[in-house]
Homo-oligomer: A and B are copies of this chain.
Amino acid sequence: MENRQELQSLLDRTAAVCRSLTGDGRQATYIPELATVDPTLFAVSAVTLDGAVLSSGDTEARFSMQSMSKVMSLAFALERLGYGEVFSHVGMEPSSEPFNSIMKLEMTSAKPLNPFINSGSIVMAGLLAERLGSGVIKDMLDFASRMTGNKGGLVVNERVYMSESSTADRNRALAYFMHSSGTLSFDVEKSLDLYFRLCSIEVGTADLAVMGATLANAGKNPVTGERITSLDTSYTVLGIMSVCGLYDESGEFAVKAGIPAKSGVSGGIVCAVPGRMGLAVFSPPLDKGGNSVAGMETVSRLSRELKLRGI
């Protein structure tokens, strides 16, 4: 078990150093609402498997999950629909490709490479929307609230949702293309709508760190004690996080930090260290790969200090 005081102290020291290490990172602007966020915000949280929630920095900061929602969506889909149905619609292999190439890949593939790239995530959303009907978003918000231990209940940030929805040329192109080829066999606009809502769920780093800790704890939320997923679901989600979590910097992150993680263009990174802890960090300026500059550095330092790789 981790020593809470030492861990809090390490978070504070790391936060002090890393919050300014944003290099020439820039926050995302292609979704207009993201451009309005204060780029100097910084927060980090750690949640141990005995249920301690430790944070440092601007701990009250709230931001949209963006691609970090794909972790929760995958866990939800595995629990509700099962491994077999999920992976009949998407693969589980990494892609080091930027967006255009991912579109190219979709054109030669029977199904999206994995559930964390946009194509795969849109197909997941379409599948869930079709199977679970109009209550799907309510069910998923409830699931996310339990996985993050958020007592008030997570909600969609409507301004972010509107902003996403109206600036979605590429996701729309991708969805129509997949529909034409049969890869997306669900209603295009419903699939996109759920996808945008999920990206717009608002969280803080403590929420995310509890989510990571739940996976790290074999599916049982260590704060509330509630079982959220099976062990097998946590294995599957952790495995995909480890190879596909940071877009086309997943390999670089595996070298620098070496732990399962998922980033989002809002500037967050959620990590799950099996048998050890959950971690989350937030800092909006992104590198060219779309990952939080200060966030990657923070996690890399914590991984080394805490020997999160095992050595």
Contacts and interface: CB of A to CB of B under 8 A. Distances in A.
Contact of A309 (B100, B238, B240, B244): B238
Nearest to A275: B310
Please indicate which of the listed interface residues A169, A231, A248 has the most CB atoms of chain B within 10 Å of its own CB. A169
A291 interface: no
Interface in A98-153: 100, 103-104, 107-108, 113-114
5 contacts: A169-B188, A173-B174, A174-B177, A218-B311, A242-B254
Given A93-B251, A240-B254, A251-B243, A169 B173 contact: no
A89 to B, nearest CB: 15
Contacts of A104: 104, 107
Contacts of A240: 251, 254-255
Interface string A30-73: 00000000000000000000000000000000000000000000
A87 to B, nearest CB: 9
A227 interface: no
B311 A217 contact: yes
A255 B236 contact: yes
Given A176-B173, A242-B242, A250 B310 contact: no
B258 A235 contact: yes
Nearest to A241: B254
Number of copies: 4
A91 interface: yes
A211 interface: no
A172 interface: yes
B311 A250 contact: no
Interface in A222-243: 231, 234-236, 238-240, 242-243
Nearest to A252: B92
Interface in A174-219: 174-177, 179-181, 188, 216-218
Q: Ordered nearest first, which 7 A-B pairs have the shortest CB separation? A: A275-B310, A239-B255, A169-B180, A274-B310, A93-B96, A173-B177, A173-B176
A84 to B, nearest CB: 13
Given A91-B96, A239-B254, 7 more contacts: A92-B251, A92-B255, A169-B176, A170-B177, A173-B177, A240-B255, A275-B307
A114 B243 CA distance: 14
A103 B96 contact: no
A249 B92 CA distance: 8
A96 B111 CA distance: 13
Contacts of A239: 251, 254-256, 258
A125 to B, nearest CB: 17
Contact of A94 (B96, B169, B216, B217): B96
A104 B100 CA distance: 9
A1 to B, nearest CB: 14
Contacts of A249: 93
